[in-house]
């Protein structure tokens, strides 16, 4: 079953302690759809500038990603330049040029409007709400957001949260949203805002899924060397949403497996710079890591 | 089967954002043996001062902890005063008076010398080595240490590490010991120093066990509110050592279960100030938490 994602496409310049790449394809919609494509067909709604060559998306088209929802607008594509420091504990955002993304006005093509699984990547909550209003009775909507919108557009965000099934937040974001340091308390407060399913991403420490009747916790998949954390959260969401749309099921066991797949897609993502590693792997690699992960965490 | 622990007994003054207790019974040997006593008989070697009343240990004696190895020396008992700040991210050590612990010279009573399971709590590595030399062919020796000894007594520590089966370190300690940020690389380097089994404690993020043929990872047990982290590491070690000595087995599955029990004893420890919570629980509570933990981390 298709997954619809509304998010950003960008040219990223990434500096890590190991290397630097310039103007590589990035943005939430790219990481999400690359990860998601291992499980499901993906429909993308995003905006790019005149400088964007559609050939950039060829590898994703070959993976069953559909880009009818991409608009090419006058101006330049979103550009971001970030520099990570030792051990990736800190990042400097050296430059963020929204360009055409600044006036992003997501229009959902008619053929996407019946999508059952929707991922609202981190765009302005007003736009997220606007997208929601264009979709006919989706089955499962998940939302991502960032500190910026939590701080500056809280009222809008609260409105969207009322209307989604799941939210992906990292530990500092959910603390920020709820004012609660304890992640369980924070999750309970977030459930009261609307979403039934709270997924807390803890980076190298794994993830939690909390709902009214499920508590599920996974440690991080052991990665020998983190090369670039950019996009790991969107890759997590891509694996998660891809899996549940593939099995067309959001019962507790499917949600648990979706978290494990999300965790694994995130772990692949960080192993090479940009989207590189996700482009190299295949579904057998993912299944193999799933098998290993089960071994790493299970006991009799 | 009995477990022998050599460590400290102290009077702790603990300040947290919630409360303050003065001169409460603490020290590594106390936390360890309280946790361990749910699984096994424990023999304690430690030193106390003239101000120490043996009635303090009554609750432990009732749990099968044997204190023939305690020496009462002239002078005062070890005193520590710590203050935790918000969210327990930082701690000030306001006062550390070693008192009689400064000249601790652990003498192992003859009847303890045949112990099969030995825990060397964080004392000077020279003393740890001295204890090892007094024990007749132990089956499984585990060691704990702290940053202070890693920084100041590295050579002695390296000597002890050569002669133990397992080492408990937290994430910052093992990074400190090996100079490696990545915990897996750090564990592999530590295995090269001698111990076969490396247990990395990650506080609220759980723990890792790494050996040449086992990788096992557990997230933290979800605690609604941390009240005091003092002693959590020693409680973890107590649960771990208690379990393997109870089952008299250190195969991979036993090591995994031991980590889960360690994790659970640590989670109980932090729920009340000092050793209070560990005194209140019984083995049924531990088994119930083991069952819940399995549910929290397992998937089909």
B90 touches chain A (CB under 8 A): no
Average pLDDT over residues A215-230: 95
Whether A296 and B182 lie within 8 Å, measured CB to CB? no
Q: Answer whether residue A146 is part of any domain.
A: yes
Q: For residue range A137-176, what is the model confidence (pLDDT) as tens digits?
A: 899 999 999 999 999 999 999 999 999 999 999 999 999 9
Q: Answer whether residue A278 is part of any domain.
A: yes
Q: For residue range B196-235, what is the model confidence (pLDDT) as tens digits?
A: 999 999 999 999 999 999 999 999 999 988 999 999 999 9
Report how many domains make up chain A. Answer: 1
What is the pLDDT at residue A202? 95
B182 touches chain A (CB under 8 A): yes
Which residues of chain A have a CB within 8 Å of the CB of B225?
A: 182
Q: Answer whether residue A134 is part of any domain.
A: yes
- In the structure, what pLDDT confidence band is assigned to residue A197 with cuts at 50, 70 and 90? very high
- The secondary structure of chain A, three-state, reads CCEEEECCCEEEEEECCCCEEEEEEECHHHHHHHHHCCCCCEEEEEEECCCCCHHHHHHHHCCCEEEEEEEECCCCCEEEEEEECHHHCCEEEEEEECHHHHHCCCCCCHHHCCCCEEEECCCCHHHHHHHHHHCCCCCEEEEECCHHHHHHCHHHHHHHHCCCCEEEEEHHHHHHHHCCCCHHHHHHHHHCCCCCEEEEECHHHCEEEEECCEEEEECCCCCCCCCCCCCHHHHHHHHHHHHHHHHCCCCHHHHHHHHHHHHHHHHHHCCCCCCHHHHHCCHHHHHHHHHHHHHHHCCC
Whether A182 and B297 lie within 8 Å, measured CB to CB? no
What is the pLDDT at residue A214? 97
- In the structure, what pLDDT confidence band is assigned to residue B87 with cuts at 50, 70 and 90? confident
Q: Answer whether residue A295 is part of any domain.
A: no
Q: Answer whether residue A284 is part of any domain.
A: yes
Nearest CA distance, A232 vs chain B (angstrom): 18
Q: φ and ψ at A139, to 5 degrees?
A: -85, -40
Nearest CA distance, A5 vs chain B (angstrom): 27
Q: Which domain holds residue B241?
A: 3-297
CA A297 to CA A287: how far, in whole Å?
Answer: 16
Q: Answer whether residue A51 is part of any domain.
A: yes
Q: Which of A86, A206, A256 sits opposite B219 (nearest CB)?
A: A206
Which residues of chain B have a CB within 8 Å of the CB of A185?
A: 224
Q: For residue range B239-252, what is the model confidence (pLDDT) as tens digits?
A: 999 999 999 999 99
Whether B206 and A219 lie within 8 Å, measured CB to CB? yes
ipTM, 2 dp? 0.92
* Rounded percentage of chain B residues whose pLDDT exceeds 90: 96
Q: Which of B217, B224, B298 sits opposite A184 (nearest CB)?
A: B224
CATH of the domain at A152: 3.40.1190.20
B218 touches chain A (CB under 8 A): yes
Which residues of chain A have a CB within 8 Å of the CB of B216?
A: 296-297, 299
Q: For residue range B176-192, what is the model confidence (pLDDT) as tens digits?
A: 999 998 999 999 999 99
Q: Answer whether residue A76 is part of any domain.
A: yes
Nearest CA distance, B243 vs chain A (angstrom): 14
Whether B218 and A215 lie within 8 Å, measured CB to CB? no
Does B22 score more than 90 pLDDT? yes
Q: For residue range A33-48, what is the model confidence (pLDDT) as tens digits?
A: 999 999 999 999 999 9
Whether B215 and A225 lie within 8 Å, measured CB to CB? no
């Amino acid at each position: 079953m298709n997954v619809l994602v509304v998010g950003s496409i960008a040219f990223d310049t990434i500096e890590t302690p190991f290397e630097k790449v310039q103007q590589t394809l990035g943005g939430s919609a790219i990481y999400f759809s690359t990860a998601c494509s291992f499980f499901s067909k993906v429909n993308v709604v995003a905006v790019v500038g005149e400088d964007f060559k559609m050939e950039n998306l060829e590898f994703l088209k070959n993976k069953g990603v559909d880009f009818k929802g991409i608009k090419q607008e006058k101006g330049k594509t979103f550009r971001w330049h970030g520099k990570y420091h030792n051990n990736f504990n800190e990042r400097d955002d050296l430059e963020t040029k929204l360009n055409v993304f600044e006036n992003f006005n997501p229009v959902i093509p008619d053929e996407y409007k019946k999508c059952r699984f929707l991922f609202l990547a981190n765009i302005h909550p007003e736009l997220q709400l606007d997208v929601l209003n264009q979709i006919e009775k989706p089955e499962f909507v998940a939302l991502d957001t960032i500190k910026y919108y939590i701080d500056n557009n809280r009222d809008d965000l609260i409105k969207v949260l009322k209307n989604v099934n799941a939210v992906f937040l990292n530990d500092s974001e959910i603390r920020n949203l709820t004012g609660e340091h304890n992640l369980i308390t924070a999750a309970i407060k977030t459930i009261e805002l609307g979403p039934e399913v709270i997924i807390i991403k803890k980076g190298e420490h794994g993830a939690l899924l909390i709902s009214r009747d499920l508590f599920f916790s996974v440690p991080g998949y052991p990665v020998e060397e983190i090369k670039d954390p950019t996009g790991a959260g969107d890759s997590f969401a891509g694996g998660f949403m891809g899996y549940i749309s593939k099995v067309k099921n959001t019962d507790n066991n499917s949600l648990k497996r979706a978290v494990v797949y999300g965790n694994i897609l995130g772990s692949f993502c960080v192993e090479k710079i940009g989207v590189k590693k996700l482009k190299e792997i295949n579904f057998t690699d993912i299944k193999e890591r799933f098998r290993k992960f089960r071994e790493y965490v299970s006991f009799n």
